[in-house]
Amino acid sequence: MASMTTAAGRSLSHGRIDKRQAILAAAFTVFARRGYEQAGVQEVAEEAGVAKPTVYNHMSDKETLFRETLIETAESVAAENLAIIDRLRQPVEDLPAVLEDVAYRLLRTCCGERSRALRWLTYAQVARFPDLIEAVQSRTTSRIRDAFADRIAWLTMSGQLRPCDPTLAAEQLLALITGPLEGRGRLGTRKVTTAELRTVSDAAVVTFLRAYEADRA
Amino acid sequence: MASMTTAAGRSLSHGRIDKRQAILAAAFTVFARRGYEQAGVQEVAEEAGVAKPTVYNHMSDKETLFRETLIETAESVAAENLAIIDRLRQPVEDLPAVLEDVAYRLLRTCCGERSRALRWLTYAQVARFPDLIEAVQSRTTSRIRDAFADRIAWLTMSGQLRPCDPTLAAEQLLALITGPLEGRGRLGTRKVTTAELRTVSDAAVVTFLRAYEADRA
DNA sequence: ATCCTGTTGAACGCATGAGTTCAATTTGGC
DNA sequence: GCCAAATTGAACTCATGCGTTCAACAGGAT
């Protein structure tokens, strides 16, 4: 009877520190470093400070380990992004400034180690685990898009944005934020300067507002 | 001394049909189907209708085989996209209509088998071959962006678009075209309807023109 | 103290697949 | 027809790594 876990992730069997979390964290580190196939279960165990059979005590397979790791990371990344968008819940007086701030933070997160590695690992295993794309995106991109759409809907109702399809507007704003850097290979391996992030996110907001700002009458 | 090849890809040693091309084509098929690590050289050989040692006669490594395959495909995909953008070289009378046509074709290409597989394979092997991102993107995304920027510069000079940074505008237009479907996981495994492509590409052009069209005075 | 449960390290079996070897055969050029 | 280069199939070597086994061990509960 391997460790069943509560919603909080704490082990039920005895009060021991849950090694499950350590294993998942280590697994993500190693998978991100080497990729799925190149990563060895042995290496994950070492990174977690644990013996190999212990890993198999918690996860039946390398595949299971991979899936749980990606899901876990997806939830974490999503939470980070949703927190940023929540900035738009408080009433906004200076819309461009607030949007630029949100856009900048989102872009910074999307360029971060975790987000990049998550995207890579997910797409890398399309051939082997096609369902993972759906599993990860429904937890990240879709939720972020919907949260943004909610904020845009409110902004529209308060007259700060022109009437539009909020979901489409959210998709386009997100595309404007993350697209340019992707095209420059900067969501790839190269370093990104803070200035470049600001330039791109500001430009995204400017273009978005030109297209979606309510006519000033 | 294995076969040196001319620019046309024809084998110099005797007039034999160049098996190199067959091998590269088969390799892309197999890599796209299985991914780099899962694809076997044996399987590539079978797909190409060739014996395994023959593959090693043309490519020293599995790694070399992979690199050459990706580069070859990148050139091919780029050519396809550049041809679409060339549509903008002839003088345009109805800018929205032409842009929508170009956007739709680009999106259709980007959702195609070859493009998707190329992206996947490239990003999938970031951990092992980090330089491939640069190699592929410099042949595809960068060139497409630059070609688009050229057209946009001309359109600006002819007064059909407002003054802007053509490269940034190109990046943003491309982002608007391909971003939304990516967010929906539609550049993933799911099927995409023609209608959906049209909706997204039209919306991209509408938003782009709202932001970049010259003021009608 | 003594159970029970989970951990440890080391070794193992086993499958997979890269890259090679080689002798036999095909191919196209001359 | 003849040669040289390329191709073929089969078998082989060798490294890698998953998943398992097991005997010894640790640590909390009663």
Q: In chain B, how many H helices and how many E strands?
A: 10, 0
The DSSP bridge partners found for residue A213 are A161
A143-166 exposure pattern, b = at least 16 Cβ within 10 A, e = fewer: bbbebbbbbbbbbbeeebbeebeb
Angstrom distance (rounded) from CA A8 to CA B161:
55
Q: What is the pLDDT, as a whole number, of residue B217? A: 58
Q: Using CA atoms, how far apart are residues B31 and B33, in angstroms rounded to an integer?
A: 5
Per-residue pLDDT, averaged over A59-80, amounts to 96
Q: Measuring from the CA of residue B16 to each C1', which nucleotide is nearest? A: C28
Q: Are B120 and A123 in contact (CB under 8 A)?
A: yes
Distance CA A111, CA B144 (A): 23
Residue A30, classed as helix, strand or coil, is helix
Q: State the pLDDT confidence band at A23, using cuts at 50, 70 and 90.
A: very high
Specify the pLDDT at position B216: 63
Please give the mean pLDDT across all residues of chain A: 89
Nucleotides of C under 7 A from a protein CB: 5-11, 16-22, 27-29
Domain with CATH 1.10.357.10 in chain A: 61-212
pLDDT of residue A47: 95
Confidence of residue A158 (pLDDT cuts 50, 70, 90): very high
Asked if B136 and B117 touch (Cβ cutoff 8 Å), the reply is: no
Q: In terms of CATH, what superfamily is B1-60? A: Homeodomain-like (1.10.10.60)
End-to-end Cα spacing for chain A: 69
Alpha helices in chain A (DSSP H): 19-34, 41-48, 52-58, 62-85, 95-111, 113-124, 131-139, 141-157, 166-183, 194-212
B11: three-class secondary structure by DSSP? strand
Of A34, A19, A121, A17, the residue nearest A77 (C-alpha): A121
What nucleotide is nearest B23 when CA is compared to C1'?
Answer: D7
Structure tokens at A41: 């279960």
Q: Which residues of B touch A34 (CB under 8 A)?
A: 127
> How distant, in Å, are the alpha carbons of B6, B82, B93, B140 from that of B166?
37, 17, 20, 18
pLDDT at B197: 95
- Distance (Å, whole) CA A135 – CA A158: 34
Do residues B124 and A35 touch, judged by C-beta distance below 8 A? yes
Q: Is the confidence at residue A118, as pLDDT, over 90?
A: yes
Tokens of A141: 């991109």
Mean pLDDT within A174-191: 83
A137 and B180 in contact by Cβ < 8 A? Answer: no
pLDDT at residue B14, as a whole number:
43
How is residue B148 written in tokens?
């688009």
| Closest by Cα among A103, A110, A78 to A208 | A103
| CATH architecture, domain defined by A61-212 | Orthogonal Bundle (1.10)
Gyration radius (Cα) of chain A, Å: 20
CA/C1' separation A16–D16 (Å): 34
Q: For the residues A90-99, what does the mean pLDDT come to?
A: 94
Lowest mean pLDDT among A17-21, A104-108, A109-113: A17-21
Closest partner residue to B33 (CB to CB) among A35, A127, A204 is A127
Binary contact (A134, B171; C-beta < 8 A): no
Stretch(es) of chain B classified as CATH 1.10.10.60? 1-60
Q: Which two tokens stand for residue A115?
A: 């987000």
**Rounded CA–C1' distance between A36 and D28, in angstroms:** 37
Instruction: Report whether pLDDT(A109) > 90.
Output: yes
- pLDDT of A5 reads 37
Q: Is the pLDDT of residue A216 over 70?
A: no
Nucleotide D18 C1' to residue A54 CA (A): 14
The stretch A40-50 carries a mean pLDDT of: 96
From chain A, the residues in CB contact with B188 under 8 A are 126, 133-134, 137
Which residue type is seen at B75? E
Positions of chain B with pLDDT under 50: 1-15
Dihedral angle of Cα A188, A194, A199, A200, to the nearest 10 degrees: 30
